[in-house]
Amino acid sequence: MRDVREQLFDAAERILRQDGPSALTSRAVTAEAGCAKGVLHRHFADFDDFLAELVLDRIARIDHQAAALRESAGTGTVVGNLSGALTDVFGSVAVAIVSLVTFRDELRARLRRTRPTGVPLMAEATQMIASYLGAEQEQGRIVAVADIDVLAPTLIGAGHLLFADRKGTPPEPAAVSRVVNAVIAGALTP
């Protein structure tokens, strides 16, 4: 099998999106991936190790998004860049990952060993937004007195609420932009 880990991670994502964390079992993942159950256990110590690696892999994706978002500072519009970033984060499996971490005590305990504060994935997304806002502040597009440490988690929380219904359709881009604009309107340089 080519790239077994990614194939298993993608299968887990599909299950999380369709049926939620309670449906996520090693048997369900291997069945969805079209492989024998033993394949998962050859690559991971146990199922919680697999889940921890899934979360860490998705965190690494946010790290890549963060670099691209920070580089976009000074281009486009701040509202547009933030709206796109929130859609990228929450349009992915992030909302389901938050549910998974909340649902599985052992997974949460494993992740706490290396990530002692915040909700994994959401903490990194918050850092991504804060870093971008800081870059925009340096560009002069965000006022110097703006409290980035308040704006970033506010945007993440609002974004999470917009995208939280995993069974529903994602919010329209205009709805995301409206929320972003409401949160940062007072921080934008006139």
157 part of a folded domain? yes
Same domain, 149 and 94: yes
Q: What is the CA radius of gyration of the chain?
A: 18
Residue 96's pLDDT is 83
> What is the mean pLDDT of the segment spanning 70-83?
97
The domain that holds 35 is classified in CATH as 1.10.10.60
20/107 same-domain check: no
86 shares its domain with 180: yes
User: How high does pLDDT run on average in the chain?
Assistant: 91
**Residues sharing a CB contact under 8 Å with residue 166, sequence separation 6 or more, in sequence order:** 17, 20, 95, 96, 99
pLDDT at 10 over 80: yes
Amino acid at 22: S
Give the pLDDT score at 1.
Answer: 46
How far, in Å, CA of 98 to CA of 88, rounded?
Answer: 15
Q: What is the pLDDT of residue 79?
A: 98
Is residue 167 predicted with pLDDT exceeding 70? no
Looking at per-residue confidence, does 81 or 111 come out higher?
81
Are 125 and 89 within 8 A, CB to CB? Answer: yes
DSSP state of 45: S
pLDDT of residue 118: 80
Report the number of distinct structural domains present in the chain.
Answer: 2
Check: CB of residue 156 under 8 Å from CB of residue 180: no
pTM confidence score: 0.87
5 with 37, same domain: the answer is: yes
User: How far apart are alpha carbons 13 and 18 in whole angstroms?
Assistant: 9
Amino acid 83 reads: S
In a domain? residue 31? yes
CA distance 180 to 96: 22
Q: Is the pLDDT of residue 106 over 60?
A: yes
